Amino acid sequence: MHPTLAALLAHGPVLTDGAWGTQLQARGLPVGDFPDAWNLSHPDAVREVAAAYLAAGSQLILTNTFGANRLRLAENGLADQVLLINRRGVELSRQAASGRARVFASIGPTGKLLMNGDVTEAELSAAFQEQAQALAEAGADGLVIETMADLTEATLAVQAAKATGLPVVGCMVFDSGKNKDRTLMGVTPEQAATALAEAGADVVGANCGQGIAGFVSICQRMRAVTDRPLWMKANAGLPVMEGGRTVYHTTPDEFARFAPELARAGAAFIGGCCGTSPAFIQALRAALPPAAG
């Protein structure tokens, strides 16, 4: 096991952070605007989000770099800012962490579909290699490949991240099928865990897609096929539209009630995704064994 992971996991489940996009929106980011650009235009707000999670008890925080690959940035007129946005994202989270938490940098999907011919595997690899290297050079402690729907894209991202020498987390979204236990492309938790580990992921798991109740079985199924540490970051339930706004009705306490069960199912890293906030992390901290706090 990578030394960074061994140190983190020495005392039980690790408490990660929650959602970033909605927290930036609460600080003024217009709905629909590209969050990653705020690393340059509103660094104080980005740093505030990381600091709020640290104050809530996060032992590991991510970065505002989810969409900062060349392909996504090009769509937002920022293709020439790849290195700057990624480096700044790591710097801001590191400043907030002040050495009291690890910073794992976020790498999300490109938004391009291989199956439609939107992009080639070589183009995906190049984009992920560029982003991963920039994040590593900026001082990230690890890299998190997250919210992936296409297993091929996920494995290419994992391989690119692995080349940096940092510990790598690989996560898929399970939001499809009758039981919400498959990716958009039909991949099962077992298939995902196996393929991500084979690609080199040090940690495998799931994020986004559904509420925390559904993550327990996903975690159990992944644990049955891999010995890799498991990373679980669920949404605050499924969103509803109210007055043109996306609203999540799960409360922090309702969310945290599943944390012990998730830990028993094998989750080594527990946090939140869409709709969660520092209040959710505080509730998780109270619900998990003292070592996780």
**Residue 142 resides in a domain:** yes
Complete edge-to-edge strand list for the sheet that includes strand 230-235: 14-15, 267-272, 230-235, 203-211, 168-172, 142-148, 102-107, 60-61
Q: Where are the alpha helices (DSSP H) in the chain?
A: 3-8, 21-25, 38-41, 43-56, 70-75, 82-97, 121-137, 151-162, 189-199, 215-223, 252-256, 259-264, 278-287
pLDDT tens by residue, 103-130: 999 999 999 999 889 999 999 999 999 9
Indicate whether 164 pLDDT > 90.
Answer: yes
55 phi and psi angles, rounded to 5 deg: -65, -30
CATH number, domain containing residue 282: 3.20.20.330
**Residue 41 resides in a domain:** yes
pLDDT tens by residue, 134-151: 999 999 999 999 999 999
Tell me which of 135 and 292 has the higher pLDDT.
135
Indicate whether 98 pLDDT > 50.
Answer: yes
Residue 246: what pLDDT?
79
Query: How confident is residue 293, by pLDDT bands cut at 50, 70 and 90?
Result: very low
Determine contact, residues 204/226, Cβ cutoff 8 Å: yes
**Token pair for 114:** 């291989």
Query: How confident is residue 248, by pLDDT bands cut at 50, 70 and 90?
Result: confident
Domains in the chain: how many in total? 1
Tell me which of 279 and 116 has the higher pLDDT.
279
Query: How confident is residue 290, by pLDDT bands cut at 50, 70 and 90?
Result: low
pLDDT tens by residue, 174-187: 999 999 999 999 99
Residue 242: what pLDDT?
81
**Residue 269 resides in a domain:** yes
pLDDT tens by residue, 32-80: 899 999 999 999 999 999 999 999 999 999 999 999 999 999 999 999 9
Residue 31: what pLDDT?
84
- In terms of DSSP bridges, do strands 230-235 and 203-211 run parallel, antiparallel, or are they unpaired? parallel
Residue 45: what pLDDT?
98
C-alpha span between 281 and 58 (Å, rounded): 7
pLDDT tens by residue, 201-243: 999 999 999 999 999 999 999 999 999 999 999 999 888 888 8
Average pLDDT rounded to a whole number, residues 268-275: 96
Q: Which residue has the tokens 């809530």?
A: 56
Domain encompassing residue 27? 14-288
**Residue 3 resides in a domain:** no
**Residue 5 resides in a domain:** no
Q: 186: phi > 0 → left, psi -120 to 50 → alpha, else beta; which?
A: left
Q: What percent of the chain has pLDDT over 70?
A: 99
Determine contact, residues 171/206, Cβ cutoff 8 Å: yes
Q: What is the mean pLDDT of the chain?
A: 95
**Residue 6 resides in a domain:** no
- The residues pairing with 172 across neighbouring beta strands, listed in sequence order, are 148, 206
C-alpha span between 93 and 46 (Å, rounded): 8
Query: How confident is residue 166, by pLDDT bands cut at 50, 70 and 90?
Result: very high
Average pLDDT rounded to a whole number, residues 93-112: 97
**Residue 48 resides in a domain:** yes
